[in-house]
Amino acid sequence: MFIETEVPEDEVIISRTDLNGVITYVNDTFAKISGYSSEELIGRPHNILRHPDMPRSVYKELWDTIRAEKSWSGYVKNMRKDRGYYWVFAEISGVYKDGTLVEYKSIRSPVPREMRIKMQHIYDKMREEEHEAWRAVMYLPFATGEKLMEAAKKRGISAEELISELL
Ligand SMILES: Cc1cc2nc3c(=O)[nH]c(=O)nc-3n(C[C@H](O)[C@H](O)[C@H](O)COP(=O)(O)O)c2cc1C
C-alpha cells in the first residue's frame, strides 16, 4: 500500500541545490510533504526523493536544460520517506550571483487529480519504451558483498554481470 499525500493549494514547496544536485536548502513545507526533516535533506543528493515510476529520460531532459542555463518545468512524482508518494509541478532554474550560476532552485505547485492520472499513464508508457533496467537495492552481509566483488574482479566482469550469469 502506497499512500498519496495531497500537496496543499496555498503553500509553495521550495528547494535549492548546488550545481551537482545536492540539496542546500528546503522550506518547511518541502520537509513536511516529503516526510523528512530539513536536517535529513540538506547535504543529500536530490534523488533521495526519486520515485521508481519516474522515467530516466525526464531527469536527463531536466539536467540538459538547466545545464544549458535554461529553466525546466514538468510533472514529478516523488517518494516520501515512508515510501508514500506525492505529485508536483516543478519549475527549476538557476540562481545567479554577480551574473554567475551558483545554484539551482525548484518551486513546486500541486497537480490536479486528472493530470496526476494522465501523467502516471504517460510515464508508465515512457518507462516501458525506455526498457528501463531494474533498479535493485540489496543489503548483503559485508563478507558476502566482499566475496561478490572479489569473484567479479577475478573474472574481469562487473558485479551486475556476475549476478546475471548466476541466474
Ligand atoms: C533544483 C533541483 C530540484 C530537483 N528536484 C527533484 C525532485 O523533487 N525529485 C527528484 O526525484 N529529482 C529532483 N531533481 C533531480 C535529481 O537531481 C536527479 O537527477 C533525479 O532524482 C534522478 O536521479 P538520478 O539522476 O540519480 O537517476 C532535482 C534537481 C534539481 C537541480
Task: Give the Å distances, CA to CA, from 104 to 19, 31, 88, 120, 158.
Answer: 7, 18, 17, 26, 34
Give the percent of the chain with pLDDT over 70: 96
Q: Give 81-110 pLDDT, tens digit per residue.
A: 999 999 999 999 999 999 999 999 999 999
* Helix, strand, coil abundance in the chain, percent, nearest 5: 40, 25, 35
Strand partners, 41: none
Whether residue 92 has its Cβ less than 6 Å from ligand 1: yes
Domain regions of the chain by residue span? 13-129, 136-167
* Residue type, position 22, single letter: V
For the CA of 51, the nearest atom of ligand 1: 11
- pTM for the model stands at 0.80
Q: Give 136-147 pLDDT, tens digit per residue.
A: 667 788 899 999
Q: How confident is the model at residue 134 (pLDDT cuts 50, 70, 90)?
A: low
Q: Compute how many other C-beta atoms are within 10 angstroms of the C-beta atom of residue 162.
A: 16
For the CA of 66, the nearest atom of ligand 1: 31
Using the structure block, give the residue that is written with the C-alpha cell 550571483: 97
CATH number 3.30.450.20 given to 13-129: yes
